Amino acid sequence: MRTAVGLTPLEMTLLAFEFTMEFVMPTFSKIVRFAFLGLASTALVAAVPSVASARPNVVVVFCDDLGYGDLGCYGHPTIRTPNLDRMAAEGTRFTQFYSANPVCTPSRYSLLTGKLSIRGGMTSKKNRVLRENSKGGLPADELTIAELLKQSGYRTMCVGKWHLGVQPEHLPMRHGFDHWFGLPYSNDMPKQLMRINTDGSTVSLGSNPMFRDDEVIEHDPDQRLLTERYTDEALKFITAAADAREPFFLYLPHSMPHTPIHASRRFAGKSPRGLYGDVIEALDWSTGEILDTLRKRGLAENTLVVFTSDNGPWLIRHENGGSAGLLREGKGSTWEGGQRVPGIFWMPGTVKAGAVTTELGSTLDLLPTIAGLVGARLPDTAAADGYDLGPLLREGGKSPRKEMFFYRDDELFAVRLGAYKAHFKTQPAYFEPKATAHEPPLLYNLDVDPSEKYDVGKDHADVVAKIAALAENHRASVVPVKNQLEELIPIPAGETK
């Protein structure tokens, strides 16, 4: 409240006191004066709500099938992403950031656990992703980012597409999330979700169910509204945590731009890139809403926000699929376009602003990076394939990540070490049932040749030998475990759709 002379009551009181001190009681002790001012400033600070909690909050925005070349700040000529461009300008943008796998389920497992999918049995040739009738899913003994942060007293929520199993023990609520709002699998799987009862019988939960926590609240939701509904839930969660002054973890795996793509009336028909551009511009708006809410609540400097994608663009969807920019191939493939994705980190005052790094990073690194940020101790068995990117994000410089392993299902197809990537096997993402083995492996210098066009193996036998030895060591570190993707529950005739 301000008075007629434009001062608040507290400022009026201070002014009156100053007058008394300067002109009425000039001999009054300076010590008493400072004590009064100290008390007054304490009262002033107490009057302004302090919303910053001591422990940093974490938000992970995880798009589905967004390509390396789909954002303005990654060079797309007609898709407008002002909010993500600003996020990148205020934070650190990676030009060599990798999802852990070229398809949905294994990539999501790796982001949440910091482990390659082969270590959790979360990859298979038979089913490349979990189905609506899969028996398996995210194993109970895995440590997820949500579990780590929940153990540290965080509020946690998953908003969006899960795709790590449909049986109750595999859903978000059993893996560290207090709440979940979203879909259990991809938006092109509008089929009967099949559950196993405790007596071994099976039951259908209906087609394309939308969940709130463990309950199905509707079926076949209007996909034009998914991005906005997810955003609304995300903002409510952030606001409630801010009101309660509790640290929070929000995992926001969007359903878009996985096909079939849809945009609401607010975005449809707006982008020169067509419907795909409308969908990306909605995701840009959504991220902007989250960043603005954090700014308004005074949480910007205490919240790490990460924006990335689960795999490259789905090129077989043509105009409805995204772009890998200058990278070769897309989703489903171990060429660069399958796994190199946008990677933007933002935390003003902590993450270096305006930085573009050509160092390596991966979604595998999120768990150790977040653990380092919040000061949580990781068990020795956790995040076997991740690195703490904290020093790089704060100060720039070199990444602890020097290598990247590229799996197609349960087979190691390629390995990157420094600038070089060796392909032991290659296979187009789709429509080619067999892989081609390469002996010696194909070798590309990705710093020089990011499009993987020119095999330089014959000039670098030493590099090939070094990468082959690294691959051998890695293979030896993989312990066989039960496969989670192969067992399916029969769907009764007439219930498939």
**Which residues here bind Mg ion, judged by CB under 5 A?**
64-65, 104, 310-311
The least distance separating Mg ion from the CB of residue 63, rounded to whole angstroms, comes to 8
Phi, then psi, of 451 in degrees rounded to 5: -85, 0
- Residue 480 neighbours by CB under 8 Å, 6+ apart: none
The CB-nearest residue to Mg ion is: 104
Whether residue 257 is preceded by a cis peptide bond, meaning omega within 30 degrees of 0, is: yes
The least distance separating Mg ion from the CB of residue 181, rounded to whole angstroms, comes to 19
Residue 343 near residue 356, CB atoms below 8 Å? no
Residue closer to Mg ion (CB basis): 96 or 339: 339
Phi, then psi, of 144 in degrees rounded to 5: -100, 165
Alpha-carbon distance of 251 to 59, in angstroms, equals 6
The least distance separating Mg ion from the CB of residue 64, rounded to whole angstroms, comes to 4
Alpha-carbon distance of 407 to 416, in angstroms, equals 12
DSSP string, 156-185: EEEES---S-SSGGGSGGGTT-SEEEE-SS
Residue 114 near residue 319, CB atoms below 8 Å? no
Joined together, the tokens standing for residue 144 give 């997820």
The least distance separating Mg ion from the CB of residue 109, rounded to whole angstroms, comes to 13
For residue 161, give the nearest of 94, 71, 233, 79 by alpha carbon: 233
Enumerate the active-site residues: 104, 163
Residue closer to Mg ion (CB basis): 311 or 334: 311
Q: By three-state DSSP, how is residue 420 classified?
A: strand
Alpha-carbon distance of 415 to 123, in angstroms, equals 18
DSSP string, 246-285: --EEEEEE--TTSSSP---TTTTT--TT-HHHHHHHHHHH
The least distance separating Mg ion from the CB of residue 65, rounded to whole angstroms, comes to 4
Pairing of strands 192-196, 179-182: unpaired
What residue type is assigned to position 244 of the chain? A
Alpha-carbon distance of 174 to 137, in angstroms, equals 11
Phi, then psi, of 296 in degrees rounded to 5: -60, -35
Alpha-carbon distance of 335 to 353, in angstroms, equals 30
Residue closer to Mg ion (CB basis): 161 or 421: 161
Alpha-carbon distance of 105 to 128, in angstroms, equals 8
Joined together, the tokens standing for residue 303 give 């919240």
> Which segments of 342-460 does DSSP mark as H helices, in order?
366-374, 390-395
Residue closer to Mg ion (CB basis): 57 or 362: 362
The least distance separating Mg ion from the CB of residue 257, rounded to whole angstroms, comes to 9
* Chain mean position to CA 477: 26
